[in-house]
Amino acid sequence: MRESPPVDVIVVGAGFAGMYAIHRFRELGLNVQVFEAGSDVGGTWYWNRYPGARCDVPSLEYSFGFSEELEQEWDWPEVFSAQPDILRYANHIADKFKLREHITFNTRVISVTWDEATRGWEITTDDNETHRAPFCVMATGCLSVPNKPGIPGADTFAGLELHTGLWPHEDVDLTGKRVGIIGTGSSGVQAIPELARQAETLHVFQRTPVYTVPANRKAMRDAVQQEFKDNYRAIRDMQQSNAGGVSNFRPVKSVQRAAADTDPGAIADVPPDGQPNFRGGNNNIKDLSPAERRQRVIERGLNELLNFRDVYTDPEANDIANELFRNAVRYMVKDPETAESLCPKDYGIGCKRQVLDRDYYDTFNRDNVTLVDLEQESIREITPTGVQVGDEHYDLDVLVYATGFDAMTGALLKANVSGRGGHTLNEKWEHGPVAYLGLQMQGFPNLFTVTGPGSPSVLCNMLVAIEQHVNWIGDAITYLRDNGLATMEPTAAAETEWVAHVNEVAEGTMYTAPSCNSWYLGANIPGKPRIFMPYVGGYPRYRERCEQVVANSYEGFQFT
Ligand code: NA7
């Protein structure tokens, strides 16, 4: 085992979190080393290259605010960006801020061990090297460990096997191929219309139907982009006080100008609420008559159902919206049996992360697309030549897994973290994640998690959440240095109190309804404890709590 010279901070992961950590920590005078399993920067956007991959937060909001120069020089081609554009943005940042010199690529961290003697972390990597630093920051992402379900025979498939979260870098030619896809979450829903356009035939193996609404697919208009750029300081402030870290800034001038030009597309150009805000406006669906509700959906589309406040708070209102949604699916999909299978019936709108699509339902009207409903009978086995469901065998050349991720805790638990006294994170989190503010765990001094469980993370605009966490961690390390302190970690009491608060705010929401099974709850991974992992109390409330903790001399933390 070779040993590299010690640094101040080791960061695991070179997605947006790891990238900003380099920039910020370097500004603070710290020596930073990052390890990244991939061959380049970008994290989620490096790995998820499947056709149709796209962000569900408007691009002008899903961007860093730490550099005005970056804000001004970068142009987004679409209102909601496709994966290649976001990856280009990540690469631009890496070049501009010279981040790559701090990153060791193609190197996976295989253990993270606290060493009491040196009061620091010993990190081993899969190239047989040991690295030491007093601080370690896990910037390992929330959706970075792909889930491949243990379906019998899975390893026997002789055709091409793909996972949306590990899509190859080179083009995959599906022309003339019989393709099957398992999974109809965001990844599946985004990929299915694209795969259907390329493949000879597409079989969609669906266990649970999804509530998906059309995404805004507009090209970015220069005037809108410019107005954002002119107002970015105010927009960043607005993000700080929005529950989902999205400003919802309305580019008034551009819209008025366009309206004057009688451009009918102008209003739709305005980014709609970002993903985290798809949880109701100010109106209630129950205030409308049945005829009015139907009329609204006809006039404004399925998205309108997401704009009612009571749909997210009142089960009766939720049922009304769910039924209107199903009726729309029955109308859009021509084959009645397929339409019925595509209608979610066992859970309501608001339980899972809202999925946005381009032509999803219409794809099932294509002659080359077949829905295989797994509700009655799940996949019995994967064979060398395809997929067996009940008595039916589906012959395939290509099998795509769009089966999601071991979300939020997966990457942290996979890193073999052991803290003081040799106690492991896996032991500590046996019954679900326990952390203070989603930033630190008791027993793991000087180890920080970026957007960890118990913080708003995936319920917030990730780039806003990342900046806030990395800034907080940088300030904490500076505090230790300035005060001649060696270590910090939460007290057991503070951690317990925070976890109780995280659970309390999630209780009674649609997210945790008994009928709801989502990756937020860990319900997609067999045996994973059912705990609502992100903090649902809203980003501003969370941020204020983090600030208050600092103002009270790091209340809830203990130091040596
Ligand atoms: P998701 O949302 O976890 O979706 C995974 C899909 O795979 C979902 O439809 C699952 O059905 C299905 N699945 C998983 N295991 C199986 C088996 N064994 N058989 C059949 N179907 C299965 O992951 P995504 O990648 O789509 O999206 C994750 C997030 O990434 C998304 O929310 C965005 O934030 C970006 P199930 O619903 O469990 O019955």
> Residue by residue, what is the 3-state secondary structure of 105-122?
CCCCEEEEEEECCCCEEE
Instruction: Note whether 405 and 421 are within 8 A (CB).
Output: no
Give the count of alpha carbons within 13 A of 325, CB side only.
26
Has residue 468 been placed in a domain? yes
pLDDT at 269 over 50: no
Q: Are residues 383 and 410 in the same domain?
A: no
Mean pLDDT in residue range 237-259: 83
Residue 482, SS3 per DSSP: helix
Nearest ligand 1 atom to alpha carbon 353: 32
Q: Are residues 536 and 417 in the same domain?
A: yes
pLDDT at 213 over 70: yes
pLDDT at 384 over 60: yes
Which domain CATH number covers 392? 3.50.50.60
Q: Are residues 416 and 498 in the same domain?
A: yes
Q: Is 380 in the pocket of ligand 1 (CB under 6 A)?
A: no
Q: Are residues 364 and 467 in the same domain?
A: no
The DSSP bridge pattern shows strands 392-395 and 129-133 to be: unpaired
Q: Are residues 365 and 490 in the same domain?
A: no
Cα gap 294→288, rounded to integer Å: 10
Positive or negative: CA dihedral 501, 506, 508, 514: negative
Shortest-distance Cα residue to atom 17 of ligand 1: 149
Nearest ligand 1 atom to alpha carbon 524: 38
pLDDT at 276 over 80: no
Cα gap 134→9, rounded to integer Å: 7
Alpha helices in 97-185 (DSSP H): none
Alpha carbon of 78 to ligand 1 centroid (Å): 26
What's the count of helices (H) and strands (E) in the chain, helices before strands? 18, 22
As a residue count, the chain comes to 560
Mean pLDDT in residue range 88-103: 98
Q: Are residues 450 and 410 in the same domain?
A: yes
Q: Is 372 in the pocket of ligand 1 (CB under 6 A)?
A: no
Q: Are residues 378 and 493 in the same domain?
A: no
Cα gap 85→54, rounded to integer Å: 9
Residue 356, SS3 per DSSP: strand
Per-residue pLDDT band at 257 (split at 50, 70, 90): low
Candidate from 187, 518, 520 with most ligand 1 atoms within 8 A of CB, to mutate: 187
Per-residue pLDDT band at 270 (split at 50, 70, 90): very low
Has residue 519 been placed in a domain? yes
Cα gap 413→417, rounded to integer Å: 7
Q: Is 524 in the pocket of ligand 1 (CB under 6 A)?
A: yes
Q: Are residues 397 and 504 in the same domain?
A: no
Shortest-distance Cα residue to atom 19 of ligand 1: 207
Has residue 264 been placed in a domain? no
The DSSP bridge pattern shows strands 398-401 and 201-206 to be: unpaired
Name the residue with tokens 């940042």: 93
Query: 324 has which bridge partners?
Result: none
pLDDT at 259 over 80: no
Q: Are residues 381 and 432 in the same domain?
A: no
Cα gap 539→554, rounded to integer Å: 19
Output DSSP code: residue 521.
G
Instruction: Note whether 398 and 178 are within 8 A (CB).
Output: yes
Has residue 181 been placed in a domain? yes
The beta strand positions in 299-428, using DSSP E, are: 355-357, 369-373, 379-383, 386-389, 392-395, 398-401, 417-418
Per-residue pLDDT band at 248 (split at 50, 70, 90): confident
Packed helices 16-27 and 462-482: angle between N→C axes, nearest 10 degrees:
30
* Residue 6: predicted pLDDT: 87
Q: Are residues 180 and 130 in the same domain?
A: no
Has residue 50 been placed in a domain? no
Decide which of 381, 401, 421 is a domain's last residue: 401
* Residue 263: predicted pLDDT: 45
Candidate from 207, 353, 355, 516 with most ligand 1 atoms within 8 A of CB, to mutate: 207
Shortest-distance Cα residue to atom 3 of ligand 1: 404
Cα gap 39→84, rounded to integer Å: 16
Q: Are residues 14 and 132 in the same domain?
A: yes
Residue 490's domain comprises 2-41+99-145+406-559
* Residue 4: predicted pLDDT: 87
* Residue 256: predicted pLDDT: 64
pLDDT digits (tens, 9 = 90+) for 397-412: 999 999 999 999 999 9
Has residue 467 been placed in a domain? yes
Lowest-confidence range among 23-27, 149-153, 183-187, 309-313? 309-313
| pLDDT, greater one: 552 or 513 | 552
Helix (H) or strand (E) run with residue 133 in it: strand 129-133
pLDDT at 42 over 90: yes
Packed helices 290-300 and 315-332: angle between N→C axes, nearest 10 degrees:
50
Alpha carbon of 439 to ligand 1 centroid (Å): 27
Cα gap 194→465, rounded to integer Å: 31
**Structural domains counted in the chain:** 2
* Residue 99: predicted pLDDT: 98
* Residue 260: predicted pLDDT: 55
| pLDDT, greater one: 267 or 396 | 396
Number of other residues whose CB lies within 10 A of the CB of residue 96: 14
* Residue 12: predicted pLDDT: 98
Per-residue pLDDT band at 278 (split at 50, 70, 90): low
Mean pLDDT in residue range 433-462: 98
* Residue 32: predicted pLDDT: 98
Per-residue pLDDT band at 5 (split at 50, 70, 90): confident
Shortest-distance Cα residue to atom 37 of ligand 1: 208
Shortest-distance Cα residue to atom 33 of ligand 1: 186
Q: What is the mean pLDDT of the chain?
A: 94
pLDDT at 355 over 50: yes
Helix (H) or strand (E) run with residue 21 in it: helix 16-27
Q: Are residues 469 and 367 in the same domain?
A: no
* Residue 1: predicted pLDDT: 82
Q: Is 454 in the pocket of ligand 1 (CB under 6 A)?
A: no
Q: Of 409, 68, 442, which Cα lies nearest the Cα of 229?
A: 68
Instruction: Note whether 86 and 56 are within 8 A (CB).
Output: no
Has residue 485 been placed in a domain? yes
Cα gap 382→389, rounded to integer Å: 9
Cα gap 39→25, rounded to integer Å: 22
* Residue 273: predicted pLDDT: 38
Mean pLDDT in residue range 179-198: 98
Candidate from 167, 208, 341, 403 with most ligand 1 atoms within 8 A of CB, to mutate: 403
pTM of the model: 0.96
* Residue 266: predicted pLDDT: 39
Q: Residues near 511 by Cβ (< 8 Å), separated by ≥ 6?
A: 350, 351, 518, 520, 521, 532, 536
pLDDT at 272 over 50: no
As a whole-number percent, the residues of the chain with pLDDT over 90 amount to: 91
Decide which of 401, 416, 434 is a domain's last residue: 401
As a whole-number percent, the residues of the chain with pLDDT over 70 amount to: 95
Q: Is 402 in the pocket of ligand 1 (CB under 6 A)?
A: yes
Has residue 29 been placed in a domain? yes
Contacts for 419-426 with beta carbons within 8 Å, 24 or more apart? 419/114, 419/443, 419/444, 419/445, 419/447, 420/114, 420/116, 420/444, 420/445
